[in-house]
Amino acid sequence: MSGVIRKSQAETLDGTPEKRMFWSIANDYGLKTGICELVDNALDQWILGGRKFDLSISINLDVQRQLISVQDNAGGVKQEELRLLITPGGSRNNPQDEVIGIFGVGSKRAAIALGEQVEIRTRYREEQAFQIDILPEWIVSPDWEIPSYKIPDIKTGSTYVDISRLRNPLTENDVDTLRLHLGETYDWFLSEGCEILLNDEAIAGRSFNDWAYPPGFSPNRTFFEIELPGAGRLKVTIVAGLIRDRVPELDNYGVYFYCNHRLIEKEVRNRAVGYGVSSEAGVPHPDASLCRAIVNLYGPARAMPWNSNKNAINFEHLAYRQMRLILIQLVTQFTRLSRRLKENWNDQVFRYDSGEFQEIPAPQIVSAQRLILPELPRKPRTSAAKLKRINEIQLDQKSWLLGIVEAMEAVEILDSKPLETKNRITLILLDSTFEIALKEFIVHRTDLFPPNGFRDKDLIDLFSSRERVIRIVVEKRPDLQSQVDQTRHFYNLRNKLIHERASMVPTDKEISNYRMLVERILTGLFDLQFPK
Ligand SMILES: Nc1ncnc2c1ncn2[C@@H]1O[C@H](COP(=O)(O)OP(=O)(O)O)[C@@H](O)[C@H]1O
Ligand SMILES: [Mg+2]
């Protein structure tokens, strides 16, 4: 048979790891990642124990003596499980649980990466307390055995990790940075009754839910589940919107990822989430800096798309690939909105500080992927003053055109405003501008309409019927017949809006068609110019 190799056993090899593997797993650890691993372990115990008591984690960074210590009252480690604290890959966590620790490397990696000398003391409930010392000699010796010591009682259910002979000098600045980082990373846990102290001062949580709710464009929320073969189901909630807490120097926008409530990565603005030249959301730019998306993943630790440091998302991960297109659409939507409103964020965004999320149904099959999102305001086609500038000569010769030009400017301005009923206002404005244009044409083209035939009284009489006005204008200007005919449809819409019991709402498409039509007629009648 092809493909089967004949084999017979030669010997049994010893697969015990070498100590040097500690270097590989510790090398990309810094103060933040290291401390967070130790915090994560206490949080996991607390979560797995059903959050029955108030968890307290106390971190001390002693800059003067160059010592780090982390203590918690999460429950302690049983004697028979002490080995988990030093065995690479050793873990008690079930990969199906909604926890943080999964790889079984955190505690040892953190301890070893932070300093050369580590003392771990732990006491499971009321039982005997133990200590393990991880010393430089053990790290270099090929031997994996390590003694544990019985020690006098420490607080029940507590674990202390004391690290000295630090690999990197500690500074006051580190303390400040860590304080912010812990507040952001563990915001949810802090709000759920867990306390984290840093140098005896409680950490304050920091969330990123500082949303703006412009009319029609409040933050969008979508929820769906994804299945990872062999790893389980993840629940995914994404909220995307415009923010009110923009700090230009901080670049605090983009995508934020939380896994099982812990912040993993923030302010992501790469190709994988939709940014980049010619990508959906375009290149990251201050104009786009009001767009934020917060992704919350909840489910089995095994299924999470995080890296083993828990400080970045693995964008190649199957879990991420399944949510990618949905996230990109939301990022694109609010990035564009941020740009479109950039002329006036204060009035159009920041002042709307409360409201409700708009729920966006996720597609049934997540990979089908097209979300139905609200239509964005149109790009401002020209600044208002520009319209007057391009028609300078016409306005110079016929100052009475000013009202018409400015009415079209008003249409332009309205277009960029976040008014929920602006299509109604625009319809009335366009239709009246068209009617006024016909009147101005009759009144001012005395060569075509001799003034003695069109006195004030005649005009009032004439204008009681739009049809008659159209007829006499088209008589003189047959070239405009078809355009003028098309206005009837919009005149009907306007009449429905004004006279019928149930007010109709013109669509964006209708408004944009009518606007183009009126522009073309104004060009035909008065040679007024409009930007393409
Ligand atoms: N502070 C702690 N309190 C109680 N148990 C702990 C603590 N730190 C570590 N442990 C135990 O040691 C195990 C190994 O921790 P770690 O190396 O961080 O791997 P992981 O968190 O991936 O399980 C944990 O699964 C847990 O059982
Ligand atoms: Mg861990």
Burial of 245 (0-12, 13-18, 19+ CB in 10 A): middle
The β-bridge partners of 162 are 69, 119
Residue nearest to atom 13 of ligand 1 (CA): 91
Which position has the token pair 């079209």? 408
> 8: alpha, beta or left, given left = phi > 0 and alpha = psi -120 to 50?
beta
pLDDT (tens digit, 0 to 9) for every residue of the chain, 532 residues total?
A: 556 678 898 999 988 888 888 877 777 789 999 999 999 999 999 999 998 889 999 999 999 999 999 999 999 999 999 999 998 889 999 989 999 998 888 888 888 899 999 999 999 999 999 999 999 999 889 899 999 999 999 999 999 999 999 999 999 999 999 999 999 999 999 999 999 999 999 999 999 999 999 999 999 999 999 999 999 999 999 999 999 999 988 999 999 999 999 999 999 999 999 998 766 788 888 889 999 999 999 999 999 999 999 999 999 999 999 999 999 999 999 999 999 998 899 999 999 999 999 999 887 545 556 777 778 877 665 555 678 888 888 888 888 999 999 999 999 888 888 788 899 999 999 999 999 999 999 989 988 888 887 778 887 888 888 889 999 999 999 999 999 999 999 999 998 888 887 777 888 899 999 999 999 999 999 999 998 7
Instruction: Give CA–CA dist 117/136, Å, rounded.
Output: 7
E strands in 152-189: 159-166
Nearest residue to 242 (alpha-carbon basis) of 385, 121, 376: 376
105 CA closest ligand 1 atom index? 17
Cross-strand partners of 243: 211
Cα-to-centroid distance, 98 and ligand 2 (Å): 13
> Is the C-beta atom of 77 inside 6 A of ligand 1?
yes
Distance 226 CA to ligand 2 centre (A): 25
370: left (phi over 0), alpha (psi -120 to 50) or beta: beta
- Answer whether 41 contacts ligand 1 (Cβ < 6 A): yes
Q: Which atom of ligand 1 is nearest to the CA of 85?
A: 12
Q: How many CA atoms lie within 13 A of 529 on its CB side?
A: 12
Task: Give the C-alpha separation, 161 to 25, whole Å.
Answer: 19
Please tell me the distance from the alpha carbon of residue 163 to that of residue 166, in angstroms, as a whole number. Answer: 7
Measuring from atom 5 of ligand 1, which residue has the nearest CA? 77
What is the distance in A from the centroid of ligand 1 to the CA of 105?
A: 9
DSSP-based three-state secondary structure for 358: strand
